[in-house]
Amino acid sequence: MADTDFRFFTNTDRDSLLSRFQTTLKDARYFDVLVGYLRASGFNNLYKAFTKIEKMRVLVGLSADRQVVSLVEESNPQGQLRLSRHDLKQNCAEHVKKEFENCDDSPDTEDSVASLRQMIKDGKLEIRAFPERNIHAKVYITRFPDDDRDFGSVITGSSNFSENGLKANHEFNVELKDTPDVKFALERFEQLWEQSDDITSEYIDTIDTQTWLNPNITPYEIYLKFLYEYFKEEINFDKEGGFMLPDGFMELEYQKQAVTAAKKILNAYNGVFLADVVGLGKTYITALLLQQMPAERKLIICPPVLMDGWKAAIRDFRVGGAVVESLGKLDKIEKQAENYDIIVIDEAHRFRNEVTFGFEKLQQICQGKKVVLVSATPINNKFDDLLSLIKLFQPVKRSTIPGVVNLEEFFKRQSRKLNGLQKGTPEYRAAVSAASAQIRNKVLSHLMVRRTRTEIKKYFDKDIKNQGLHFPEAADPRRIIYQFDEQIDNVFNQTIDLLKEFSYSRYTPLLFLKEKLSDFAAQRQKNIGGFMKGILVKRLESSFYAFKQSTDRFVLSYERFIDMFQKGTVYISNKVNVYDLLDNDQEDKLLKLVEDEKAEMYSSDQFNDDFLPALRSDLTILRHIQKLWKEIDQDPKADEFVRMLKKDKDLAGKKVIVFTESKETSDIVYKRLAKEFKGRVIRYSSEGGDFDGRTLSTEDARQRINENFDPREKTQSDDIDILITTDVLAEGVNLHRSNILVNYDLPWNPTRVLQRVGRVNRVGSSFAEYFVYNCFPTSVSNDHLHLEENIISKIQAFHDTLGEDAKYLSEDEEIESHELSGRGANFYKRLNDKNGFNDEDENAESELKYLNIIRDVRDKDPALFDKIKRLPKKARTASVSKKMPNALISFFRRGALKKFVYSDALKSEEIDFMTAAKAFECGKDQVKKSTPANFFDLLKRNKAYLDGLAVAEDLTPVANSGRSNEAKLQKDVMFLLRDTSQYTEEDEEFLRELSEALEMGSVPKKTVQEAKKALDKQRNILLENIKAVHFLKSWFSKCVYSRNNTANQNVNDAREIILSEYFYGE
């Protein structure tokens, strides 16, 4: 019966309601529609069938907004719900806007609306709304001309007047053709029609003015809408208050803006990088951020030297519930980690390498917490440095960053772009730049607050001037050139030649084992050897005294090791990682760490026959070097420095900060200067200080330094002119009562130079400029024309001595052997370029420019701002532009993810914000053009490209590589889950949580590595389920935690078209 009964329409097979209307309406005279909702898609499907209709009436029961219903019921609790004329118009507009946001953007939609508009103009279409109650009926009354054999028909059932109701959904409708049935339905329709309100003009006006079919949206309005939608979440940050500042503390807009931006990021992603360039006040910004989160318990982890500063900051800014701990106390902190909700890590770049015990503990401390990473230099030499820090607050294989679920795979892709390219070449630099842009645009834009001095001066200029502040400018670098006499030059050259033969075998013993090492273990040994080689070379350049002390320690270390080896047993540390040693200014403790830390025992016969001869050869070289330097008691560098301090007009009588990497160099320089400038010199290192013949505790030394060099210190003194310090004062302290910095030893590490310069180049400095002096060695020569070549040859000698290990002079530089020949000249050139003291690109473009533009509109033209805010989704326009000729740019959003896609006749591609901003950017007088015929084709390509991009960007997590430790361990966990009958519920939940944690990449690599090694030694335990679970708990109980953000929040969000603009070529 269903196959032959044509009275029923269910939208299956050939019996859709749409096909029935297409058949009947071509002969109809009148068509009346009574529905709960009116959808433009209904017109879109049927407008071609309306050509012969004399009159079409549509009566809708618009659903009232809940707020409107509530207000009406509140004022008339006993009466019927009857919407006012104003409420009807408002509901009509909202329904139409929502409908067109979701309807198909195509030529058919345009054509159907044009037809609808013409029908209204010709008086053929009228639309009314019933005000008293929602209408849920769906009735369609068709009447034929008088000469037709039938009076008409009525169709009723479940279908609304929409594409879904007409053909897409499974519906149930019946058609009645008997005249009495049709007349009854018509009579009821007429009654309702008389009680309804005409909304025809509102309907079409809404389409014309409040949907994407609005033909009058200008290019300037599209530009402002683009800025509004991109910056919507932060436009009003500058208006937010609630900051409590210490007495006398300047209220700076750029710092408040950083706080509000950081808070938003922290709440969205559980972590944030506060990475303003040095000297902008990151400590105060962080304190203000913590102040805004009063309920959370806070822990600040920082270098010991910064603890007092942090304690003062949380006191002055009235930050409740905050504790400050040294980063050297991670064992203690780990035991108390559950006491905190927010972890702040100052100088976070120190933890950039994840394969260390320090990072492992830090990751465990941070699990399940909100994390604030404070560092001006979060990236040093590898993209993975940044990924390591992100792991402290994001599961890297299932992150919540829009568009990049698998961070690990994303960073691997960026690194692979450099494969096969030779470092230092234009191709390599271009690849690094492109990969860095990807990381910046797709990852850091969501996680990092970073502003440069250039941005602050340009976009917060008014605020800075109102506060009477400025940034000092860098003067051209100055040189302190000291000369080697003939004897010293001869000893120096011999030493260089000997060090080239030195193998550092004492510090790479595992390379001499008969049993082959893994590549990872071998590289670790090479790292330590290279680092120790760098120590000797650095000390040779730093001061002769420091070099002699280092040589003596090396000789003693070798003698002890050879003696131990000859007795048949040696103890070797194979756990120490070179990155744990880089910031140590106490060489004796550093060597002890290398020699004794977590030592493992080996038998001498486990080493090959080359080991002992290599040790003896190295010891012979060291003793020869000892003998060469025994007769040298001059110090030409110190002599020249003293002369400059007395004679140079920019040094004499000024406050001067002298930096050195070596504590022993600081000792010998202090002793010399203290004699020359009695009572005016202080020395500081990690162990404390010396002043005026007295030894000071760390606290006393810091207090004197603050009183003499920190303009914010309450008690100000002026009894010290010269501060000699190791790099323990290169981070996070204010020393800008001085504007003179001396690098006593060559600053091999550009990052360290930036940190040092940041002590004097700070907002609030009273100086117009600052000076940096560098010390350079040269040989005695009467030929001044060749002075620079002479200096460069000495610098080159240090690089040649290290060969490929020259990277250990600067842990953030990667050096290829082919670059070494010109390394000295390049290094010398950099040190004499004042731009080397600046970690920002003066030509870099800032998003702050565009944020300020939309804020200016908000403040100066509120009416325009309100209009822009209300422009419809899918808004479109066209203009003439050379920037993107004959192309369409579309702005898309999916949840928090914002994307820009460009298509022309040949290609489609994603573009970044800055590229899109430059294309959209225009003035009020930019002429609007009509959109081209191929607009929808290009829009369709943009949508397709975006959808394909979503798949390419890892919107599903990628499984662990089968060869990784995580994958192998996860396989073991899944093996244990095969039979859970003996487990408690807690055991089973632990295993499943551990499996998920491994899959997400949220378990410290070091923990996985060590646990896997331990498990491999007792594989049989896997056959004893309970013991195996206990074993895994002993390693991973701290790593299994509740995770709120296990899936990307944007995956299931609908794709939205925010706006599009077509650009004609001229």
Q: What pLDDT is recorded for position 1040? A: 65
Yes or no: say if 269 and 315 are a contact pair by the CB < 8 Å rule.
no
What does the DSSP assignment read for 282-327? Answer: HHHHHHHHHHT-TTS-EEEEE-GGGHHHHHHHHHHTT-TTEEEEEG
Burial class (CB in 10 A: 0-12, 13-18, 19+), 930: exposed
The rounded Cα 347 to chain-centroid distance in angstroms is: 16
The rounded Cα 794 to chain-centroid distance in angstroms is: 41
> What angle is formed at CA 364 by the lines to CA 363 and CA 366, rounded to 5 degrees?
65
Write out the two tokens for 107: 């030529």
Question: Going by C-beta distance under 8 Å and a sequence separation of 6 or more, which residues neighbour residue 755?
Answer: 278, 376, 377, 727, 730, 731
Yes or no: say if 157 and 172 are a contact pair by the CB < 8 Å rule.
yes
Q: Which residues of the chain have pLDDT under 70?
A: 1-5, 62-89, 132-134, 240-242, 355-357, 378-381, 424, 573-599, 732, 780-788, 798-824, 827, 836-844, 949-963, 981-983, 1034-1035, 1037-1053
Write out the two tokens for 26: 């071509």
Question: Going by C-beta distance under 8 Å and a sequence separation of 6 or more, which residues neighbour residue 977?
Answer: 988, 991, 992, 995
* Pairing state between β 694-696 and 769-779: unpaired
What CATH class is the domain 235-466?
Answer: alpha beta
Residue type for 260, please? T
Which residues pair with residue 56 across a beta bridge?
Answer: 31, 125
For 446, 584, 954, 1046, the CA distances from 269, given in Å and listed in that order, are 8, 33, 18, 12
CA distance 873 to 867: 13
* Local structure of 851: helix, strand or coil: helix
Q: What pLDDT is recorded for position 681? A: 96
Write out the two tokens for 59: 């009566």
CATH of domain 473-477+634-784: 3.40.50.300
Q: What pLDDT is recorded for position 820? A: 38
Q: What pLDDT is recorded for position 587? A: 54
What CATH class is the domain 8-210?
Answer: alpha beta
CA distance 228 to 873: 12
CA distance 795 to 481: 13
CA distance 400 to 653: 56
